[in-house]
A and B are shown apart, each in its own frame.
Chain A
């Protein structure tokens, strides 16, 4: 159920304390479901920094006011940035050289 947009204040996306310690890819699943049809947490992404491929659910997620930063747990390189504005969802996945999604994923 998507629809109603915030008016004067931004939607808080995840986490009661946005500037504190990280979560993991499971926390990004919701906003990713607005961009991708299949669930992405079980998909595998390859880090452009160290070349290691991991399930997105295992990546480190740092939430901030407008969205999230997704980092490689091995080399700490930023793999994805996600942000939500009143009119757009912004995705930068240049830190992931490939994302492999199982066609079975619902």
Chain B
């Protein structure tokens, strides 16, 4: 592992140099195995945050309050440590440019990680305004508080530099003073406002806690989107690393 970057008070990004890494697709994940000194092993899956264009692999890890592995990965691990990885894994929840758009990404909490890989991939490949306008993207991102929004500054910068990318946040528990954005859990009304109409046939990726993913995917299908175009990745009850 090369470097550790703090993202929010509860998340860190691990930057890894993986010898022989075969390359990956945006949306895939890796399985990380930790072996303690007494031989005890724990394994967890983490979505890859970096796009295929980046030479270093990046994983963003959220510290779960009573997690078994995440405190170790998000606090104890240091630059220079070694991790055991298996991957890349996954062929369903992936997006590459040929899959086309428009692109609708809906995420909650650490569900943003694979969606960020998708956005970074789109940004790396589509170099001109013309190409970007042909494949526009929208992100609807649910977090509890402003200081828990992962990749907050990078998302703002990407949206500012790219008029064909729209980033909308909803903060469900606490909002900063003067907040004019959404302030509730994602619901049908919010999706009606933010999502492309079903007739546009957007490629949709929904990732985060299971309840959020189920609500969003069911609602989108109710709004007319084809189930085959709505891809989902459920992170379990807490929405932390699967």
A contact set with B: CB distance below 8 Å = 1-2, 4-9, 11-17, 20-27, 29-30, 33, 38-42, 55-58, 105-106
Contact = CB atoms under 8 A, between A and B. Distances in A.
A17 B236 contact: yes
Contact of B234 (A23, A29, A55): A23
A57 B89 CA distance: 12
Contact of B242 (A26, A42, A58, A106): A26
Contacts of A27: 45, 234, 236, 242
Contacts of A38: 91
Given A15-B242, A21-B236, A41 B93 contact: yes
Contacts of B29: 26, 29
A82 to B, nearest CB: 14
Interface string B210-242: 110100000000000000000111111110111
A16 B86 contact: no
A6 B240 contact: no
Interface in B26-83: 29, 31, 33, 35, 38-45, 64, 66-70
Do most interface residues of chain A lie in helix, strand or loop, or is the interface mixed? loop
A7 B33 CA distance: 14
Interface of B: 29, 31, 33, 35, 38-45, 64, 66-70, 84-87, 89-93, 210-211, 213, 231-238, 240-242
A6 B237 contact: no
Contact of B45 (A5, A14, A55, A58): A14
Contact of A1 (B40, B85, B238): B85
Given A15-B242, A39-B89, A105-B91, A20 B40 contact: no
Nearest to A104: B91
Given A16-B241, A106-B91, A23 B64 contact: no
B236 A16 contact: yes
A7 B110 CA distance: 32
